[in-house]
């Protein structure tokens, strides 16, 4: 109830907001089972509640960014609703201090690209149907069997992401040609860290290096396999390029289509992580090194919204 009423926070009086905060504080002490004399912020944290004043600021920031992401017409609407003096710009300025570039959605691919999609295959099943809690030995055995099926492919790409929560993230990618030198890419994926973001950056970096390698060697009409331990990334990509607009998946699909236009088939495979598969372990090591790289990779709207949710759980906007 407090969060519902909190939507009027910007127009409400100070006494109204203080009244809501007192009600929430009482509820927090009851839910958390802590004495009334306990610190209010500690009680909220124990009860897993966000501050009343922090919620509307976070929701307003999300709404503002999503409006601006829809194009120039919606940008004008967003600027009229949230003028420069609006409190959400304080929070936005904090993000812009971390990131000089904020990615924006792209126009979706047209139907013409569908003719190329038949050259792309996604395997979003686990090796031998194993679950995440299966023994590590079984994971390694069946993952290696899956990998061995692609030993005759012209190129293998291995990608992985690494996250140091609230500090940094890294992306690592390895390109193994059947004949020739292995290539690697290591870079920072941004300090607004989340696993999915790092995995996207790693896949984009790996496919970019692969594309450059194929174009340089003029090795057309070959087969490529990309291995990742991010099932969520593969599931998102497997929906196809036609409906992709966000700045996370669009660059990856652009690279996939660029590759298949070279008469190259691309196969994406899921592999279990941290079970002793050599090339996955190597990609993970490169990703960890990426945490020490500059964290200047462009932020995406989804990352900023995620950061807003996390930040509002820890502190009020006035403390930013």
* DSSP secondary structure letters along the chain: -HHHHHTTTTTS-HHHHHHHHHHHHHHHHHHHT--TTS-HHHHHHHTT---TTHHHHHHHHHHHHHHHTT-HHHHHHHHHHS-TTSTHHHHHHHHHHH-S-B----PPP-GGGHHHHTTEEEE-SPGGG--TTS-HHHHHHHHHHHHHTTTTSSEEEEEEEEEETTTEEEEEEEEEESSS--EEEEEE--SS--HHHHHHHHHHHHHHHHHHHHHHHT--S-EEEEEES-HHHHHHHTT-STT--STTTHHHHHHHHHHHTTT-EEEEEE--SSSS-HHHHHHHHHHHHHTTS---SPB-HHHHHHHHHHHHHHS-GGG-
Q: Domain-by-domain residue ranges, the chain?
A: 2-104+303-319, 111-297
Q: What is the pLDDT of residues 108-161, one digit of tens each?
A: 666 667 777 888 999 999 999 999 899 999 999 999 999 999 999 999 999 999
Which range has highest mean pLDDT (40-49, 90-99, 217-226)? 217-226
Q: What is the pLDDT of residues 262-303, one digit of tens each?
A: 889 999 999 999 999 999 999 999 999 999 998 776 665 555
Please check the confidence at residue 315 and state whether its pLDDT lies above 50: no
| pLDDT value of position 6 | 43
Please check the confidence at residue 96 and state whether its pLDDT lies above 80: no
CATH code that applies to domain 111-297: 3.30.420.10
Please check the confidence at residue 88 and state whether its pLDDT lies above 90: no
pLDDT band at 221 (very low <50, low <70, confident <90, very high): confident
């Amino acid at each position: 109830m407090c969060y519902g009423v909190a939507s009027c926070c910007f127009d409400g009086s100070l006494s109204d907001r203080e009244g809501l905060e007192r009600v929430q504080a009482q509820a927090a002490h009851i839910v958390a089972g802590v004495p009334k004399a306990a610190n209010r912020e500690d009680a909220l944290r124990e009860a897993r509640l966000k501050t009343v004043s922090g919620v509307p600021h976070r929701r307003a920031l999300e709404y503002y960014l999503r409006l601006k992401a829809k194009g120039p017409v919606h940008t004008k609407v967003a600027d009229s609703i949230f003028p420069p003096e609006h409190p959400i710009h304080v929070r936005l300025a904090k993000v812009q201090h971390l990131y000089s570039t904020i990615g924006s959605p792209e126009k979706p691919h047209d139907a013409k690209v569908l003719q190329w999609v038949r050259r792309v295959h996604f395997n979003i099943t686990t090796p031998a149907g194993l679950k995440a809690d299966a023994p590590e030995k079984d994971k390694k055995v069946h993952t290696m069997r899956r990998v061995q099926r692609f030993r005759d492919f012209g190129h293998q790409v291995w990608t992985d992401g690494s996250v140091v929560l609230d500090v940094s993230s890294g992306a690592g990618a390895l390109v193994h040609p059947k004949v020739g030198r292995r290539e690697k890419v290591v870079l920072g994926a941004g300090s607004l860290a989340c696993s999915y973001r790092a995995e996207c950056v790693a896949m984009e970096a790996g496919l970019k290096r692969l594309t450059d390698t194929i174009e340089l060697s003029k090795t057309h009409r070959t087969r490529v396999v990309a291995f990742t331990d991010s099932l969520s990334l593969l599931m998102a990509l497997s929906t196809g390029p036609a409906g992709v607009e966000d700045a996370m998946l669009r660059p990856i699909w652009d690279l996939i289509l660029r590759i298949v236009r070279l008469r190259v088939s691309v196969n994406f495979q899921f592999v279990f992580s941290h079970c002793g598969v050599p090339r996955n372990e190597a990609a993970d090591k490169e990703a960890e090194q990426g945490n020490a790289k500059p964290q200047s990779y462009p932020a995406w709207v989804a990352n900023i919204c995620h950061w807003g949710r996390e930040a509002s759980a820890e502190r009020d906007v006035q403390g930013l």
